[in-house]
């Protein structure tokens, strides 16, 4: 069950993370439950009954998401397309409120997905056995080693450079090749963002420990399904609603700086870049609409 922690939204987010990496979005989405099932069963030694329940659960969550959330996301992408497009070679500036609105819409979708998935996840967790706890912990430990090597073991300048590279790649998927002004904007953002690397890792470990506490209580039948479901939903949504004042302040500041970066990069874009992004948004919206209409 490692993807739950890595992507912060457990079984469905494992599907969606695989989908995001797939160039053929419709093919990726339609097979996301199968991909996630294969991934999870390679990490934990499920018996045949557990495996069958997991497969059914993943399929049910993806189908719910197809019907309930894809139309919403398609509409948000259409709104984004209109804001991104350059008309007659003229770029209309975007503002923080527009970007924040899209951010909030996506977060709301993730929250609804987490709440829908929580009872299904609880049912699967209550089917675990104590001897499987070690498999899950080992998968998390391996994930953490990889995370530390990638994000924390380098010197500060290397962290900044890798952060710049990751963010540049994300923007270029939408805009195409970035110009020098945009690259400078990303560099300035990265020098702020990497200061939070250690605290992000500590939060990651804390949520993992909370997750493993739930795994232990479930595998040893020390919790009922309703209570477990509520705790899973709380944990899945914790990254959006930090509990401590310091974590909340950091989360809000990180969100503010990232939104500011998006606004700056988009407003430094050429008409061609903006139309590239608008076309990408339109393509995703169309794919989501097709997926939502196919059962």
- 106-123 pLDDT, tens digit per residue, is 999 999 999 999 999 999
Number of domains in the chain: 1
Helices (H), 178-295: 180-193, 197-219, 225-237, 245-267, 271-293
* Average confidence (pLDDT) over 32-44: 93
Q: Which residues contact 266 (CB under 8 A, 6 or more apart)?
A: 84, 94, 274, 277
- Work out the pLDDT band at 15, boundaries 50, 70, 90: very low
pLDDT at position 239 is 78
pLDDT above 80: residue 200: yes
The encoded tokens of residue 30 equal 């339609």
DSSP string across 194-217: GGGHHHHHHHHHHHHHHHHHHHHH
Q: State the angle between helix axes of 96-125 and 70-84 in degrees (0 to 180), rounded to the nearest 10.
A: 160
Question: What is the domain range of residue 224?
Answer: 2-293
Mean pLDDT over the full length of the chain: 88
Q: 32-43 vs 48-68: helix axis angle to the nearest 10?
A: 150
CA distance 125 to 86: 49
Q: What is the pLDDT of residues 212-268, one digit of tens each?
A: 999 999 999 999 999 999 999 999 998 777 777 887 888 889 899 999 999 999 999
Distance from C-alpha of 52 to C-alpha of 57, rounded to nearest angstrom: 9
User: In angstroms, rounded to a whole number, what is the distance separating the alpha carbons of residues 274 and 267?
Assistant: 9
What is the rounded distance in angstroms from the CA atom of residue 161 to the CA atom of residue 147?
16
pLDDT for 10 beyond 70: no
Read off the tokens for 162. 């890798």
């Amino acid at each position: 069950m490692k993807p739950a922690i890595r992507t912060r939204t457990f079984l469905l987010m494992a599907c969606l993370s695989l989908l995001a990496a797939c160039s053929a979005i419709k093919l990726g989405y339609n097979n996301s439950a199968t991909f996630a099932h294969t991934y999870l069963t390679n990490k934990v030694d499920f018996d045949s009954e557990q495996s069958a329940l997991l497969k059914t659960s993943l399929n049910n969550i993806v189908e719910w998401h197809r019907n309930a959330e894809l139309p919403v996301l398609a509409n948000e992408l259409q709104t984004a397309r209109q804001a991104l497009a350059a008309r007659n070679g003229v770029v209309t500036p975007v503002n923080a409120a527009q970007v924040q609105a899209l951010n909030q819409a996506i977060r709301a979708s993730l929250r609804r997905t987490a709440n829908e998935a929580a009872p299904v996840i609880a049912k699967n967790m209550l089917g675990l056995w104590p001897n499987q706890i070690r498999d899950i912990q080992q998968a998390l430990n391996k994930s953490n080693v990889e995370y530390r090597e990638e994000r924390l073991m380098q010197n500060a300048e290397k962290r900044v450079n890798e952060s710049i590279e990751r963010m540049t790649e994300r923007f270029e998927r939408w805009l195409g090749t970035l110009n020098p002004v945009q690259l400078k904007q990303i560099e300035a953002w990265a020098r702020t963002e990497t200061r939070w690397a250690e605290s992000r890792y500590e939060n990651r470990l804390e949520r993992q420990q909370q997750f493993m506490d739930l795994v232990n209580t479930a595998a040893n039948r020390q919790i009922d399904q309703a209570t477990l479901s509520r705790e899973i939903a709380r944990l899945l949504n914790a990254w959006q609603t930090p509990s401590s004042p310091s974590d909340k302040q950091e989360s809000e500041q990180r969100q503010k700086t990232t939104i500011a970066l998006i606004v700056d990069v988009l407003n430094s874009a050429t008409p061609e870049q903006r139309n590239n992004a608008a076309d990408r948004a339109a393509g995703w919206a169309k794919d989501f609409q097709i997926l939502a209409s196919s059962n």
